[in-house]
Amino acid sequence: MSGANARPIGVLFVCTGNICRSPMAEGIFRHYVEQAGLSERIRTDSAGTSAWNIGEPPHPGVTALFAERGIRYSHRARVVHPDDVTRFDYIVAAERAHLDILRRIAGGTPVHLSLLLDYAPDLGLRDIPDPYYNGRFREVHDMIDRACRGLLDHIIRVERLM
């Protein structure tokens, strides 16, 4: 994928309702992509495994943290679509239950499926807790932030972007 005319690398973040964890991951990751000067090379999106929140903006806990940390972000919740497995190179799940759903959707399609916390192994967790239920948006933000830095480092190395 290296080279000036290469198709942008697509990264899709997935959680349950697409209003907390996946938009948080997309916003943080996009922020780091912009800081690295890779906005033309990496495109991002997020989606949910359920249709509960389609069309809704991110949870106020997410938007408050983004405002506090200077992250510009706008998104409306959507559900994962079967075409996503061909439109994105990396599909990154918030928890193992999402990964199981994504594997079923992908079937045999070659797409890199992973858990976001795979990119922050020092945290010792696999699943990102859902702040919708526990209200711990700062803690979840910090986990996601660390994992997004690890994911970007991984993509830069594997895709030879720098």
The set of catalytic residues is 15, 21, 130
Contact 47, 126 (CB under 8 A): no
Residue type, 114: S
Q: Helix, strand or coil for residue 76? A: coil
The CA radius of gyration of the chain, in Å to the nearest whole number, is 15
Residue spans of alpha helices (H) in the chain: 21-35, 60-69, 84-87, 96-106, 131-134, 137-159
As a dihedral over the C-alpha atoms of residue 144, residue 94, residue 12, residue 40, rounded to 10 degrees, the angle is 10
Assess contact for 126 and 95: CB atoms under 8 A: yes
